[in-house]
Structures are given as C-alpha cells and as structure tokens.
Amino acid sequence: MRHLVEVQGRLGEFEARGAQVIAVGQGTGAEAAAAARRHRITYPVLGDPGHQGYRTLGLGRTGWWGLTFAPFFEDLRGSFENLRRADLKASASPRSDVRRLGGALAIDAAGRIRFLHRSQSTTDVPKTDLLLEALR
Amino acid sequence: MTELAVGDAAPDLILLDAEERPVALSSLWQRAPLALIFLRHFG
C-alpha cells in the first residue's frame, strides 16, 4: 500500500497528463473500497477476488523466503514502515494469496500496453516516474 | 500462451467496483490513458 500512498501524493502529475489511476487488489470490490478509505486514496480501487487479472498479466508469486526474511534484508526501512502501517484485522481478506506479487501497467486510449512491470519480490515496487513517462 | 509485453493489446479484464458491479477495463481506457496498479494485498 506504500506505493498507492505515494501515487496519491503524485496524482496531480497523472491528471496533468490527462491520465487516470486505478488500483486493483485481490479482494472483493467492497474490500478494495474499504482499503482505499483506510489509506485516504481518492482514485478508484477495484477488486479482483478470483485473481484472474493477476494471472492474465503473468504477475508472479514469491516463495516463502521471499515472503518472510528476504524483504527485511532488501528493504529494512520499508519493512518496518509496512509493519507500522499494518492493520492486520482490516487488511486480511480470505481471498488473498499472500505469495502473490504486484505490478503496474500503463494503457493508452487505444488499449495498447505502454508500460508493464511485474514485481520480482515483495519490495520491488513499480517506479512511479516510469509509469508517468509511459503516459506522456 | 505468449506472455504479454509492451506494445501488445491490453487484456479486457473484468474487475469489481465497491458495489461488486463488474467494470470492464476497456470502458476505462477508452475514457483516458490508464495507470493500473496491482497490489499485493490491502494492508
């Protein structure tokens, strides 16, 4: 969710390019909307409870090492920040695959993919600058 | 199946809004270019 909060802070840059931002999560639409409210995200957050979108885009799954210890070594500060922000009761969705990795894409108005990032680890977050660049 | 790449046609995914109504991705990108972020979880 750190990435969503970062994008929220730069929403004006997306809007200046005439682009819209949409986030997708593994839960229901209601769970997605609740997460958006919790993190004060003003752009739409949609649900993908069956993970069809994740599979179609080829977004990967991390191993148990990648889920547990590796993030602490790769991104100590980020890991503690995640723990600080965590609202485990609210965030747990029975539909979530905890090993699923995220990603991002930019799609132009003709429906062509202009940017595609598949996260390789839990700390590998798509770079907002590259996403913006693809939307020029 | 070939993996999607930059330059390919985007898949017209169906996602759910807050009222669990289906939203086709194509209905969004036809309005304006789209940045789509897939989250690991809702934490």
The number of domains in chain A is 1
Q: Which of A24, A87, A108 to mutate to test the interface with B (most CBs of B within 10 A)?
A: A24
- Which residues make Cβ contacts (< 8 Å) with residue A23, sequence separation at least 6? A4, A7, A32, A36, A41, A43, A44, A45, A46, B36, B37, B38, B39
Average pLDDT, chain A: 84
B3 touches chain A (CB under 8 A): yes
Chain B residues in contact with A87 by the CB 8 A cut-off are 43
- Which residues make Cβ contacts (< 8 Å) with residue A111, sequence separation at least 6? B9, B10, B12, B26, B29, B30
**Nearest C-alpha neighbor of A105 from the set B20, B29, B1:** B29
The interface predicted TM-score (ipTM) is 0.93
Query: Is this model's pTM higher than 0.95 or not?
Result: no
**Residue span of the structural domain in which A92 resides:** 2-134
Q: What mean pLDDT do residues A29-49 have?
A: 93
User: Is A29's CB within 8 Å of B16's CB?
Assistant: yes
Per residue in B11-41, is it b (16+ CB within 10 Å) or e — as a string? Answer: bebebbbbeeeebebbebbeebbbbbbbbbb
Q: Which residue of A has its CA nearest to B29?
A: A109
CATH number of the domain residue A71 falls in: 3.40.30
pLDDT digits (tens, 9 = 90+) for A4-35: 889 999 999 999 999 999 999 989 999 999 98
pLDDT digits (tens, 9 = 90+) for B4-31: 999 999 999 999 999 999 999 999 999 9
Partner-chain residue, chosen from B19, B38, B42, that has the shortest CB–CB distance to A35 = B42
CA distance A42 to A82: 20
